[in-house]
Chain A
């Protein structure tokens, strides 16, 4: 039997039913809050019991059929709750709790707390039955080949989705309450023997050190646990796909699931993990390689093309052929604003259209993309606010941005793009070179849970996984 570790006398479970009811009603403000259910009853052997649960969170059918009924019909007088649990309670999970705070925390999680008159402990029973979303298709990471399941808001369901793919007893799902006693229930998953111990202990330490009041979901937690620094690029990968999380676990990574969040946080990651799509492993090496090369090219074009074009047009016209120069000059003949301002304005409009399309639901959101792209673009050219050449450059840059699989990385690429444009405006290719060096150095100096962000390129690490090209799967290679 677990040792009673209650240290604070105020946290002790009351010995009498009267005291207990008073305490529970006071804690939950029962005079105005009708959610808490306090059910006092007797067993057939005249033992007084009190049941506390939350309306809507606990499954009343389970409580009625597997707790109340067997207890009320139990004719033998038992010594304590442990014996009652062993002989009468028909729920799968039942554990003892020795502090009042622990018991009430379980109640708010949807469990049921059972108290016996005269005993300074309680029985916490698994009765969760609140409404939850079923497993559906991923919304943000849909792929053509591969599974169509995504995580849900239920922690237990998410762990199950991963366990179905990582069928090894070495998969550990460590329960942690992030942010102390009243924090968010999380589960830290890793494969024992494969995961780096330092990463696991670092993740555990950071979770346990979080302040409770700031935690709402994994989105906030992601920012709180990742390595510090002002760099906008994410150092923790958020995914809604169980197969992606499972793949990362099998490679020795660590995965964090939070109750109430349909995303898993994967760490440690590198820049190359951010550029991988979940679909890559489901393609054969040749098409997979092509897709990856196009993706990297797209990202490169997205970040550097507007700045490079601006540098050439403003400072290094000799690098453009005569035909290109005359095309640019003639297309900009009637445009009144400087080319740098024109590029920045178009980039801003592109971001506006993108955000509007994301926020407006359903088919209207898709229509906004078409309206913004076609009609506004055409109108801007006709009104001499923009030139066709610059419009194409910005559009190509935007399309390249969408090649980046991770949404957070797309946004950080937008920052890099703007920095490249401003530096090219101020210093041409020299400014662009300086900003590129600073950006790459910043990425190289960043770490994700003590792992350098550009691993295995810098520092060099021997790996069987190719960086950009898709290797063969099987025989321990590829991925």
Chain B
């Protein structure tokens, strides 16, 4: 269960391009969670259409593999950009030299191991997000939510629909691997809460025009607090924790994709 929720959360918070999310105004905090729920229904409908879940069509498996890996990889791009601008004065190759071996190692151990690894980090990730949101609270201003997204329903609907490719593959893959409908539902609900909280906190701290060019708004939000406190300085640690989450999601995507290409069913719950 945890790795699906982790993948959905990473895709929702870090993978989607800020220009795409905020180009038409605010509302990502509504559209993205709605998109996750919509993706849940879409994936359930897809699963019902597949005659044999153990051997899905080859074309679907290939698309699924691509979709599984694409968005965690996009999130990795976001993290690399953030690391280069905010943390290290280093090239991408140097950073990838640390990231890729770990991702490949976990992927080679298998999707079960990746899922179990994600369970170990789940609490730390949720806590780090909660702390980030809590300490950005001093910068919350409701006026930044205006104009409200409910004033532009077509844009909201369009954004919801356009975000679904980021969430359908993980839910569909989880349904194929686990063989049950309940597990992706809980993961979807958890990731709705996580992405909604993160995006809503960002929207309260910055207007949409600023968010368009901001890859890590929660990081910047933490810097708004003028107090000199050790806990407030843990922003880079939180970036690393979430990067770790993305690495696990990417490793799981690679391993699960490989398993799906071989059309083997996973036997162990995540």
A458: contacting residue among B87, B117, B236, CB under 8 A: B117
Of A77-85, A235-243, A328-336, A428-436, the one touching chain B: A428-436
Q: Is B117's CB under 8 angstroms from A441's CB?
A: yes
Let me know if B269 is at the binding interface, CB within 8 A.
yes
Q: Is A444's CB under 8 angstroms from B230's CB?
A: no
B106: contacting residue among A322, A431, A432, A438, CB under 8 A: A438
Q: Is A460's CB under 8 angstroms from B269's CB?
A: yes
Q: Give the distance in Å from the alpha carbon of A205 to the alpha carbon of B118 in the complex.
A: 34
Given A321-B233, A433-B244, A459-B116, check contact A427 B105 (CB 8 Å): no
Let me know if B113 is at the binding interface, CB within 8 A.
yes
Let me know if A440 is at the binding interface, CB within 8 A.
yes
Q: Is A319's CB under 8 angstroms from B99's CB?
A: no
Q: Is B233's CB under 8 angstroms from A437's CB?
A: no
A457 cross-chain contacts in B, Cβ below 8 A: 119-120
Q: Give the distance in Å from the alpha carbon of A452 to the alpha carbon of B268 in the complex.
A: 11
Let me know if B220 is at the binding interface, CB within 8 A.
no
Q: Is B240's CB under 8 angstroms from A433's CB?
A: yes
Q: Give the distance in Å from the alpha carbon of A440 to the alpha carbon of B121 in the complex.
A: 9
A361 cross-chain contacts in B, Cβ below 8 A: none
Q: Give the distance in Å from the alpha carbon of A433 to the alpha carbon of B106 in the complex.
A: 13
A404 cross-chain contacts in B, Cβ below 8 A: none
Residue interface mask B229-244, A partner, CB < 8 A = 1: 0100110110011011
Q: Is A437's CB under 8 angstroms from B119's CB?
A: no
A477 cross-chain contacts in B, Cβ below 8 A: none
A232 cross-chain contacts in B, Cβ below 8 A: none
Q: For residues 96 through 130 of chain B, which have their beta carbon under 8 Å from a beta carbon of chain A?
A: 98-99, 101-102, 105-106, 109-110, 112-117, 119-121
Let me know if A445 is at the binding interface, CB within 8 A.
yes
Q: Is A458's CB under 8 angstroms from B237's CB?
A: no
Chain B contact-residue range equals 35 or more
Q: Is A441's CB under 8 angstroms from B244's CB?
A: no
Let me know if A454 is at the binding interface, CB within 8 A.
yes
Q: Is A430's CB under 8 angstroms from B233's CB?
A: no
A436 cross-chain contacts in B, Cβ below 8 A: 244
B109 cross-chain contacts in A, Cβ below 8 A: 441-442, 444-445
Closest-CB distance, B139 to chain A (whole angstroms):
19
Let me know if B95 is at the binding interface, CB within 8 A.
yes
Closest to B248 in A: A437
B236: contacting residue among A319, A423, A434, A437, CB under 8 A: A319
Q: Is B113's CB under 8 angstroms from A444's CB?
A: yes
Q: Is B243's CB under 8 angstroms from A321's CB?
A: no
A459 cross-chain contacts in B, Cβ below 8 A: 112, 115-116, 119, 268-270
Closest to B228 in A: A321
Q: Is A433's CB under 8 angstroms from B243's CB?
A: yes
Q: Give the distance in Å from the alpha carbon of A427 to the alpha carbon of B243 in the complex.
A: 14
B159 cross-chain contacts in A, Cβ below 8 A: none
Q: Is A434's CB under 8 angstroms from B98's CB?
A: yes
Q: Is B233's CB under 8 angstroms from A454's CB?
A: no
Q: Give the distance in Å from the alpha carbon of A270 to the alpha carbon of B36 in the complex.
A: 36
Let me know if A26 is at the binding interface, CB within 8 A.
no
Let me know if A338 is at the binding interface, CB within 8 A.
no
Q: Is A437's CB under 8 angstroms from B244's CB?
A: yes
Given A430-B98, A433-B243, check contact A316 B236 (CB 8 Å): yes
Closest-CB distance, B233 to chain A (whole angstroms):
5
Given A427-B98, A431-B98, A434-B98, check contact A440 B117 (CB 8 Å): yes
Q: Is B117's CB under 8 angstroms from A430's CB?
A: no
Q: Is B233's CB under 8 angstroms from A429's CB?
A: no
Let me know if A375 is at the binding interface, CB within 8 A.
no
B83: contacting residue among A321, A430, A440, CB under 8 A: A430
Find the residue from B98, B241, B247 having the highest chain A CB count within 10 A: B98
Given A429-B240, A433-B243, check contact A441 B113 (CB 8 Å): yes
Q: Is A315's CB under 8 angstroms from B88's CB?
A: yes
B115 cross-chain contacts in A, Cβ below 8 A: 458-459
Q: Give the distance in Å from the alpha carbon of A434 to the alpha carbon of B244 in the complex.
A: 7
B243 cross-chain contacts in A, Cβ below 8 A: 430, 433
A432 cross-chain contacts in B, Cβ below 8 A: 240
Closest-CB distance, A304 to chain B (whole angstroms):
11
Q: Is B99's CB under 8 angstroms from A434's CB?
A: yes
Q: Is A319's CB under 8 angstroms from B98's CB?
A: no
B88: contacting residue among A428, A438, A460, CB under 8 A: A428
A454 cross-chain contacts in B, Cβ below 8 A: 116, 120
A435 cross-chain contacts in B, Cβ below 8 A: 102
Find the residue from A318, A433, A454 having the highest chain B CB count within 10 A: A433
Closest-CB distance, A441 to chain B (whole angstroms):
5
Q: Is A429's CB under 8 angstroms from B110's CB?
A: no
B121 cross-chain contacts in A, Cβ below 8 A: 440
Q: Is A444's CB under 8 angstroms from B117's CB?
A: yes
Closest-CB distance, A442 to chain B (whole angstroms):
8
A319: contacting residue among B102, B113, B119, B237, CB under 8 A: B237
Q: Give the distance in Å from the alpha carbon of A442 to the alpha carbon of B236 in the complex.
A: 25
Residue interface mask A404-448, B partner, CB < 8 A = 1: 000000000000000000010011111111111110111011000
Q: Is A444's CB under 8 angstroms from B87's CB?
A: no
B101 cross-chain contacts in A, Cβ below 8 A: 434
Q: Is B240's CB under 8 angstroms from A440's CB?
A: no
Q: For residues 289 through 348 of chain A, which have their beta carbon under 8 Å from a beta carbon of chain B?
A: 315-316, 318-322
B241 cross-chain contacts in A, Cβ below 8 A: 433
Q: Give the distance in Å from the alpha carbon of A438 to the alpha carbon of B244 in the complex.
A: 10
Q: Is A319's CB under 8 angstroms from B234's CB?
A: yes
Q: Is A458's CB under 8 angstroms from B233's CB?
A: no
Q: Is B113's CB under 8 angstroms from A445's CB?
A: yes
Closest-CB distance, B165 to chain A (whole angstroms):
27
Residue interface mask B254-270, A partner, CB < 8 A = 1: 00000000000000111
Q: Give the distance in Å from the alpha carbon of A222 to the alpha carbon of B205 in the complex.
A: 57
Given A431-B98, A460-B269, check contact A438 B105 (CB 8 Å): yes
Q: Is B98's CB under 8 angstroms from A437's CB?
A: no
Closest-CB distance, B3 to chain A (whole angstroms):
10
Closest to A316 in B: B236
Closest-CB distance, B245 to chain A (whole angstroms):
10
A460: contacting residue among B83, B119, B228, CB under 8 A: B119
B247 cross-chain contacts in A, Cβ below 8 A: 433-434, 437
Closest-CB distance, B267 to chain A (whole angstroms):
11
Q: Is A430's CB under 8 angstroms from B88's CB?
A: yes
13 CB-based A-B contacts, threshold 8 Å: A315-B88, A316-B236, A319-B234, A322-B228, A429-B237, A430-B243, A433-B244, A437-B247, A438-B102, A441-B106, A441-B117, A441-B251, A457-B119
Interface on A for B, CB 8 Å cutoff? Answer: 315-316, 318-322, 423, 426-438, 440-442, 444-445, 452, 454, 457-460
* Additional 10 contacts, C-beta under 8 A, given A318-B233, A460-B1: A316-B87, A320-B233, A432-B240, A433-B241, A433-B247, A434-B101, A452-B116, A457-B119, A459-B115, A459-B119
